[in-house]
Chain A
Amino acid sequence: MAFQDPLTDCTDEDLLVRFRGGQGDAFSVLVRRYERELYGYLRRYVGDSELAEDVFQNTFLQLYTKCEQYEAGRPVRPWLYTIATHQAIDAMRRHGRHQALSLDQNQQEANDGEIRSLIELLETRGPGPIDQVASEEQRQRVRASVDALPEFLRQVVILAYYQGLKYREIAEILSVPVGTVKSRLHAALVKLQEAWAEAPSMRGS
């Protein structure tokens, strides 16, 4: 009969409480649980496997250091992503990979009243020629188009679409209101559609 560690059945929150109570094994379970998911997020975010590994380790080091501040019951996953995102931003700055903030970021932040018009914009354009490209080329083009977004838009696309986080979790991670998350996401999708529609190799396909 295979040996099952009972800690693997604990929630993230329970693991942190147990670790704070002196059960060192609990933190290891948390690291293993998020190994694939968090590395995948960081690899996508920073764009480099070695840097992603550094940031992954630093994230858990920070979590370990701040563990005493943890309030029992507070969701761990958004907190972990918050730390990871800050670590990723710092790492990219140190390595000169940080995109300069768009000067017109404030202007690009649509308010709630413009969300409807953004949706209509998405709908009128319809699916683009990128759909017709072979899958590896399509994957690369999609990745390139997401990477080309201003960072404040790229963050929400990655967190919402690829990491499957809720609006309010993303709002907590990025320290912005939920409305801002929505409008950034909508603006990001409009930009992506523009990029996909203009892909030169797609013309004439």
Chain B
Amino acid sequence: MDEHLVGYVLNSLDTETIRDMEEYLRAHPEAQQRVTHLRRILAPLESDRADPPPPAGLATRTIARLAAQQCQDMPAVPRIVALRRDAPPPRWWQRSDFFVAASILFFVVMLIPPTLTRMRNEEQKILCQNNLFQMGQGLLRYSDLDSYARNPDHVRGAYPHMVNYKAPYNTAGMFVPTLIDAGALSRDAISVRCPSVGPKEAPQRTLDDLMAIPASRFEQEAPKIVPSYAYSLGHRNARGQIVGPRRDDSVRPLVADLPPLKGEAPVVNGGNSVNHGGNGQNVLFTDGHLRYVTTRAHLGDDIYTNDRHEQAAGCHPGDNVLGHSGARSQPMSPVQE
């Protein structure tokens, strides 16, 4: 049992051996004295027990790096090899040969277009994820800022939130020009248009440009700031105040493909984003990770409307809402399907 004394003092023994040791110590008081003595010998180690805290955002950066790795791990879209043109001329065919050739042709014609479509959709989905990943990097860099001149209330760890802007400029899409203005994102790094919808479109206007638009015209311009994506509208806390998304929140959706809309309002109980054929949407979460999801529910919560089926701030911390570029945290009229 003596060989177990140090392990017992360090609590490094397995449960059964600890039990045996305790029984042994109860029967051998001199062994108990040796344990006390060993504890005193080891005591200086305790003075160096405290671990330094991890650097701020370590977990978030790690998760973002894993998300980048996930994007790299996506299989490359295979290329179709061109048919050889030097095939030998056909010999004289019989009726059965024509029948076989026609059947093969039929299946090829039926199969190739959907296969090509699937491959193209996969490629666009991956490009969209890369787009969101770049936005995510910008958001993380913004949240690392200790201060931001445009928003005196900014604190480290907070993501952009439109309530910090005066109406009518307090719309969801302002998050992208905010990131660029804060130096957290390069204008050329992202496209505000999903690759599935159209060619790359860099953000066109700066924050100053947008703030200079007359209020009466801004309503028309707001949806065009980030036409393909939806951003967090925040949620109400226990005191009813609207709070914006934060990096160290429990994991919640932050940016996603645009929801199906009717006019300017989301379709209540509507389907997935139209960006990827209604099959699903890419979602960037507050901890930096990215996922393509085939349902608009995250842990049972519709990510595009709040509990009152409005495109507005969530009714409570568990109620996540992502709004289109022209959306605001205050309620909008829902459109029933």
A25: interface (CB < 8 Å): yes
Contact A36 B51 (CB under 8 A): yes
A191: interface (CB < 8 Å): no
Interface hit among B41-49, B156-164, B258-266: B41-49
A78: interface (CB < 8 Å): no
Contact B41 A116 (CB under 8 A): no
A115: interface (CB < 8 Å): yes
Contact A3 B14 (CB under 8 A): no
Contact A35:B54 (CB < 8 A) given known A3-B317, A112-B3, A161-B45: yes
B140 → chain A closest CB, angstroms: 14
B69: interface (CB < 8 Å): yes
Contact A64:B66 (CB < 8 A) given known A161-B45, A189-B41: yes
Flag A133-171 by CB within 8 Å of B: 1 or 0 each: 001001100110010000000000100111011111010
- Which residue of A6, A31, A122, A185 is within 8 Å of B63 (Cβ)? A31
- Which residue of A122, A167, A196 is within 8 Å of B44 (Cβ)? A196
B151: interface (CB < 8 Å): no
B residues near A182, Cβ cutoff 8 Å? 3, 6-7
Flag A182-198 by CB within 8 Å of B: 1 or 0 each: 10011001001100100
Contact A32 B287 (CB under 8 A): yes
Interface hit among B32-40, B201-209, B269-277: B32-40
Contact B251 A123 (CB under 8 A): no
A159 → chain B closest CB, angstroms: 9
Complex alpha-carbon distance, A143 and B147, angstroms: 36
Flag A22-51 by CB within 8 Å of B: 1 or 0 each: 001101110110011101110110000100
Contact B44 A25 (CB under 8 A): no
Main secondary structure on A side of the interface with B: helix
A residues near B14, Cβ cutoff 8 Å? 166-168
Contact A131 B61 (CB under 8 A): no
Q: Which residues from 306 to 326 on chain B have a C-beta closer than 8 Å to any C-beta of chain A? A: 316-318
Interface hit among A10-18, A54-62, A87-95: A54-62
B residues near A157, Cβ cutoff 8 Å? 45
Nearest B residue (CB) for A63: B66
B residues near A176, Cβ cutoff 8 Å? none
Contact A167 B7 (CB under 8 A): yes
Contact A1:B316 (CB < 8 A) given known A127-B41, A139-B48: yes
B291 → chain A closest CB, angstroms: 5
B10: interface (CB < 8 Å): yes
Contact A131 B62 (CB under 8 A): no
A53: interface (CB < 8 Å): yes
Complex alpha-carbon distance, A161 and B48, angstroms: 11
B13: interface (CB < 8 Å): yes
A103: interface (CB < 8 Å): no
A residues near B7, Cβ cutoff 8 Å? 167, 182, 185
A173: interface (CB < 8 Å): no
A residues near B34, Cβ cutoff 8 Å? 119, 123
Complex alpha-carbon distance, A119 and B38, angstroms: 9
Flag B5-25 by CB within 8 Å of A: 1 or 0 each: 111001111100000000000
Nearest B residue (CB) for A123: B37
Contact B42 A189 (CB under 8 A): yes
Nearest B residue (CB) for A1: B316
B residues near A204, Cβ cutoff 8 Å? none
Contact B250 A5 (CB under 8 A): yes
Complex alpha-carbon distance, A32 and B66, angstroms: 13
- Which residue of A3, A122, A123, A138 is within 8 Å of B318 (Cβ)? A3
B residues near A130, Cβ cutoff 8 Å? 44
Nearest B residue (CB) for A138: B47
Complex alpha-carbon distance, A168 and B285, angstroms: 38
B residues near A31, Cβ cutoff 8 Å? 59, 62-63, 66
Contact A131:B13 (CB < 8 A) given known A6-B299, A44-B51, A123-B38: no
Complex alpha-carbon distance, A5 and B58, angstroms: 20
B residues near A167, Cβ cutoff 8 Å? 7, 12-14
B249 → chain A closest CB, angstroms: 8
B53: interface (CB < 8 Å): yes
A205: interface (CB < 8 Å): no
Nearest A residue (CB) for B288: A28
**Most A Cβ at <10 Å: residue of B11, B45, B285:** B45
A-B interface, 10 closest residue pairs, ranked by CB to CB distance from nearest: A40-B51, A3-B318, A39-B54, A3-B317, A35-B59, A142-B48, A139-B47, A115-B3, A138-B47, A24-B291
Known: A27-B289, A60-B66, A142-B47. 4 other contacts (CB 8 A): A5-B299, A28-B289, A53-B58, A116-B3
13 contacts between A and B (CB under 8 A): A3-B316, A24-B291, A27-B63, A31-B63, A39-B58, A43-B52, A49-B52, A56-B62, A119-B38, A146-B45, A162-B45, A167-B14, A182-B3
